[in-house]
Amino acid sequence: MATSLTSHRPVLAVVLKLSALFLFTSMSALVKALSEDFPPGEMVFFRSLFAIPVIVLWLISRGELAQGFVVRKPMGHFWRGVLGTTAMGLTFTGLSLLPLPEVTAIGYATPIFTLILAALMLGERIRLIRIGAVAVGLLGVLIMLWPRLGGGQMETAATIGALCVLGATIARAFVQIHIRQLVQVDHPAAIVFYFSLTATLLSGLTVFFGWTVPTWQQAALLITTGLVGGVAQILVTSSYRFGQASMLAPYDYTTMLFAIVIGYVWFDELPTLVMLAGAALVIAGNVLVIWRERQLGLERGKVRSVTDPKA
């Protein structure tokens, strides 16, 4: 059944991917707005819990519900959940302390850290071109973080926010390495489903650290984060059924445009020239990696379809 639903339809793939990225960015903006009243753990709980029914309905419609429940490496899914939940919680914390475009830009460093970890943990060989891409990307990260970490007027809240987002970026890199092993034995549907389930359970434990009781209106917005996140995950996963990962990967950077527009309209935020310069270098490094992986014939769409940004 999955084979019959897979075909090369690049226009549809791009539309699905862009729609997913817009929804992810909008969800991040909603989380940022709610962060004034709710702790990160509580928002992660709602984001994860209410994504589950959306994912389950999608699996039923595709006839993949059985594959979504069956796993061969349960502890692998648990640790994927721990890493992913940590990344989401750190991102939500960062969103409460930094402008939306800045959080988005720092997040672009995930592929750079993934490449480094792949060399260290999986023994992947990195030759000159990809080493250069890593160097360019890390320079971009340093430029973006420098004003927050001592290169300018250092504000405690912004410094904490920058460190949280950087930590989330590294955690996501570990997630991608972990999933490269999981997809060898388990269906992507199971990886998506059990991540939401594990994240719900883990974030639920933060109730002991103090949650805020939402009003009905606030509860509706919290639930919306989960529903929008679930739909976005389905759209991005579906996009890889109709287009190659190497073709779709560059569209990830449209989130910067979405973040700048939404950040300005909703929060009256504008990116600094330093942030844009750093982001440009990180994007350049990532594009170089994508180009090189395409030359080498590395296919990572199966991994990307379950590890795209969830915050």
Q: Which two tokens stand for residue 96?
A: 């409460």
d(CA 99, CA 266): 11
112, 289 Cβ separation under 8 angstroms: yes
pLDDT value of residue 305: 61
In the block, residue with structure tokens 């699996």: 59
pLDDT value of residue 309: 56
C-alpha distances (whole Å) from 44 to each of 35, 272, 286 are: 11, 29, 28
Residue boundaries of the structural domains of the chain: 10-304
pLDDT value of residue 3: 43
Please list the pLDDT of the chain residue by residue as tens digits (311 residues): 344 455 677 889 899 999 999 999 999 999 999 999 999 999 999 999 999 999 999 999 888 888 888 888 888 889 999 999 999 999 999 999 999 999 999 999 998 898 888 888 877 777 788 788 889 989 999 999 888 876 544 568 888 999 999 999 999 999 988 888 888 888 888 888 999 999 999 999 999 998 999 999 999 999 999 999 999 999 988 888 887 776 788 888 999 999 999 999 999 998 889 999 999 999 998 888 877 777 766 655 556 666 655 55
C-alpha distances (whole Å) from 100 to each of 69, 207, 247, 253, 266 are: 35, 26, 26, 14, 10
Q: How much is the CA Rg of the chain, to the nearest whole Å?
A: 19
pLDDT value of residue 299: 54
Q: Which two tokens stand for residue 170?
A: 């590294």
- pTM (predicted TM-score): 0.89
DSSP-derived secondary structure letter, 36: T
Cβ-Cβ contacts under 8 Å for 230 (sequence gap 6 or more): 50, 51, 52, 53, 54, 55, 58, 196
* CA atoms within 13 A of residue 64's CA, in its CB half-sphere: 19
